[in-house]
Chain A
Amino acid sequence: MIAIVIVSHSRCLAEGVREVADQMASGQVTIVPVGGVQDQEGTHLGTDPMAVLQAIQDAWTPDGVLILADLGSAILSAETALEFLPPEQRRRCRISNAPLVEGAIVAALEASLGGSLDAVNAAAEGTGSLVKVARPHPDPRGSTP
């Protein structure tokens, strides 16, 4: 069964996403949240490539690790982390294009059903086109008073 790493600028957000995704997988899937940066003054919003590397190693399974990230440096940090992995592990990791929350929920579900790394990622990325609110009739703005 594949594992999932959640990378966010906010540690709280990463943990929250893990929580909602975990519910779909009845605790069967390893989901590791990582986020925030630490210095003497405390924890700040941001991402730390070395912490992401550690999270991937904590989540590691030969079936593969799917990485879901929020944006900006979360992606750059995940890419940088992969460069520090041995090539045979790197080949079993994917950084997903999926939206973080919907992607994590669907990925956890598909992973718990035994989907392969690529199948799980495809399902997660599919949530990018999810319609949340149907808008059948566009506003008729042609004749505003």
Chain B
Amino acid sequence: MGQQNGQAGNGQAISVEQIRRWLLAYAHRIIEQEEYLTALDADIGDADHGTNMRRGLEKVKERLEDPDCPCNSVGSLLRSVAMTLISAVGGAAGPLYGTFFLRAATSCNNSPAITPAQFAAMLRQGLEGVKQRGKAHLDDKTMVDSIQPAVEALEAAIGQHKDLRQALHEAAEAARRGMEHTAEIPARKGRASYLGPRSIGHQDPGATSAYYLFETAAQVLATPAHRRESPSRHR
């Protein structure tokens, strides 16, 4: 599509091993924030978002730490994360995050490493998948409210040839602002929508768990993985 190869612009490529470390960091973050996510969901939902996500991400963590985990391509790694989430989460977040990773996977088949531009394109596909599955738009007070601004910020920064570290930082900041903005608006999708205007003043749990995706990406993906085998694999 007229796009230069991996070495052009924005510096480093992102390896499948880095993607694995990112998703492992995300799993740890979710497991550690279980109670907080559930407390947010107790305010405007059915008090299970933390439990649902912890259940799913514990399985993802097991999968990612398994030496037989399909780590030869970004696509197969994301696909196995998607399938794990689809069958283990149990709430709306299962099909939504599952669709996110499934769509992301199809945009980067068989690549052992991807460029920052391909990474952004992959997240864009994931976002479109979530919006399609949930029929949600920006400002419906859902996970879309943190994913969409993050993807847009990432695309813009990469388009301006900023380096990957800076681009990921801007994406995480956009996700954080989007997440905080959900506290100011009423819910129009999901269980919280039954509360209508009474949901104002409460931050959306799904937007919060989705923020961690970009927060951990900024922490993990900006530093290249020097070896394919990370010490954490043998813990």
Contacts and interface: CB of A to CB of B under 8 A. Distances in A.
Interface pairs A-B: 6 shortest CB-CB = A46-B90, A37-B90, A76-B95, A73-B92, A80-B95, A50-B87
Contact of A47 (B46, B90, B191): B90
Please tell me the size bucket of the interface on A: 10 to 19
B87 A46 contact: no
Interface residues of B, number: 22
A49 B92 contact: no
A124 to B, nearest CB: 21
A64 to B, nearest CB: 23
B88 A49 contact: no
Interface of B: 46, 48, 51-52, 55, 86-96, 98-99, 133-134, 190-191
A49 B87 contact: yes
Interface in A76-107: 76-77, 79-80
Given A49-B98, A73-B91, A73-B92, A80 B48 contact: no
A39 B84 CA distance: 13
A44 B86 contact: no
Nearest to A51: B87
B96 A76 contact: yes
B94 A49 contact: yes
Contacts of B191: 72
Interface in A31-87: 37, 39, 44-50, 72-73, 76-77, 79-80
B91 to A, nearest CB: 5
B87 A48 contact: yes
A138 to B, nearest CB: 23
